[in-house]
Amino acid sequence: MGGQKSKEASQNKTIPNSSEPAFGIDLGTTNSVIGYYNHGTVEILVNYAGKRIVPSYVSYSQESPVVGEKAQKMMQKNPKMVVYDAKRMIGLNYDHST
């Protein structure tokens, strides 16, 4: 019975009537997506390669941070400088051992 109610609620989503643009980030454990809301419509943004889904990886180098597929590839070269599964770290103490 409870499952039916939650299923119906999830199908009846409405977008608030707002003239203010907004961004929404779906930070997934594996992949992330960014949506842009403007004038009642939502657009999923694309990255430099034209992809809408980006691997949830960040790599730090001497030059600058790198995100997505490039950061994921850095796991082979320098895994200690790559952050992944960051969603699982939300809410943990800094000194929490994983």
Q: Would you write out the chain's pLDDT as a tens digit for each of its 98 residues?
A: 444 444 454 455 555 566 789 999 999 999 999 999 988 889 999 988 899 999 999 998 888 999 999 999 999 999 999 999 888 888 888 776 65
Q: How many residues does the chain have?
A: 98
Residue-range domain boundaries for the chain: 17-87
CATH architecture of 17-87: 2-Layer Sandwich (3.30)
C-alpha distance from residue 5 to each of 53, 75, 83 (Å): 30, 43, 38
pTM above the 0.75 mark? no
**pLDDT for the residue 96:** 63
**pLDDT for the residue 13:** 58
**pLDDT for the residue 57:** 95
